[in-house]
Structure 1
Amino acid sequence: MARILLQFAHPILSKSRIHATLLQACLNLKNVTINDLYEQYPDLYINVEREQRLLLSHDIIIFQHPFYWYSSPAIIKQWFDLVLEHNWAYGSRGNALAGKSMMNAISCGGSRQAYTPTGTNRFTINQFLAPFDQTAHLCKMTYLPPFVIHATHRLTADELTEYGNQYCSVLSALANDRFTPDNFEGIQYINELVTR
């Protein structure tokens, strides 16, 4: 089984219905570790050695966060700046993360249509996530399609539950190696693999 590290970042989790639901859905999954970055580092002082140990002991790294200003909450940028050291994560001798996988699990207030060339935001989610994709590539990791939830402010309780079930299904499939590279061909979001 693959070991999954959820790098969770939400500065105000108490106000997030969707992320609370997603976390609850995966609490009892085997081989899934939840690392709440804001809870662990309220002063933003990141323990680099601890974080690197976590990375080394997991196979799939998922950054779960709200999609703030077309990116992530600030602590994730801080995490990247400090943890992914030259000649550890990348560079001529930086092979610590080679062969692992990385992806994002995000929530967006805007609709899927808003994230199209003709929509309000002009670019797709995948285009906005290009820095994560490139970071994975630089660190010799595989970047997987993101898990994305749109229009979060308009979701009903039943829809929230359904997204929680989808997330649980995706994480279970990843942990049990049920997805192959062929599964990711032609899809924008990994959610599509459990809703077909």
Structure 2
Amino acid sequence: MKTLVIVTHPSLETSVINKSWVEELKKHPEKYTIHELYKVYPNGNIDVEKEQKLVESHRNLVFQFPVYWFNCPPLFKKWMDDVLTYGWAYGSTGDNLKNRKVAFAVSAGIKKEDYSENGRYQYSLEEVLVPFKITALYCNADYRSFFAFYGAEYEPSASEVKKSAQDYFNFIENL
């Protein structure tokens, strides 16, 4: 079974980092299904049953998005609220994420040193992403951490972008 990568970027076509990650993964269609939420649901009306069946048909699950205001884009939050339902994702009969490997891949505009106790924002990216980790754990998923690119706002070089895409590919390969 393939890995499902749910990409939630409101303007993927103008993205540098997320777009390069998607392009890298698309080189391996036998391994990865790329599911772009903003492309599939431009009006925000999520087909819950379709999404649940899509998740069920994949072994691993990776959520890819840019960090927005120290959180996720709104469509990803809506996707979680709509799709991760009681009886499907959690609860006495909700076991569709149980033991499924779940990871996150995020691009952060801010530099890594700003995400630290002594940095500008006083919290690490790991701390900022705790609600996503807790969600995965609450659903009894096999949480596998996150992959991050820091400093996307600072116009990374072509070699940094390329290395990031290769590192991302390796991260997913080793879930």
| TM-score bucket (shorter structure) | over 0.9
Task: Work out whether 1:161 is the aligned partner of 2:162.
Answer: yes
TM score, norm. by length of structure 2: 0.95
Amino acid in structure 1 at the alignment position of 2:108: C
TM score, norm. by length of structure 1: 0.85
- Who is 1:6 aligned against? 5
Matched residues in 1 for 2:150 and 2:73: separation? 17
The answer to whether the 8 A contact 2:133-2:145 is kept is: no
Tell me the SS of whatever aligns to 1:136.
helix
Matched positions, count: 173
Tell me the SS of whatever aligns to 1:133.
helix
Matched residues in 2 for 1:11 and 1:141: separation? 26
- Who is 1:186 aligned against? none
Amino acid in structure 1 at the alignment position of 2:157: T
Matched residues in 1 for 2:146 and 2:33: separation? 18
Q: Deviations over 1:67-115 (max 9, x none)?
A: 0011110001100111011011101111121110111101111111111
- Who is 1:84 aligned against? 84
The answer to whether the 8 A contact 2:95-2:140 is kept is: yes
Per-residue deviation, 1:63: 0.8
Per-residue deviation, 1:170: 2.0
- Who is 1:107 aligned against? 107
Matched residues in 2 for 1:103 and 1:121: separation? 24
Alignment of 1:80-159 (within 5 A): 80-154=80-154, 155-159=156-160
Matched residues in 1 for 2:2 and 2:123: separation? 32
Tell me the SS of whatever aligns to 2:132.
helix
- Who is 1:179 aligned against? none
Q: Structure 1: any 5+ residue segments left out of the alignment?
A: 175-196
Tell me the SS of whatever aligns to 2:145.
coil
Amino acid in structure 2 at the alignment position of 1:23: V
The answer to whether the 8 A contact 2:65-2:106 is kept is: yes
- Who is 2:74 aligned against? 74
Query: Identity of paired residues, percent?
Result: 32
Matched residues in 1 for 2:168 and 2:108: separation? 15
Amino acid in structure 2 at the alignment position of 1:171: I
- Who is 1:39 aligned against? 39
Matched residues in 2 for 1:33 and 1:23: separation? 10
Q: Structure 2: any 5+ residue segments left out of the alignment?
A: none
Displaced runs of 4+ in structure 1, greater than 4 A?
Answer: none
Structural RMSD (CA): 1.1
The answer to whether the 8 A contact 2:61-2:102 is kept is: yes
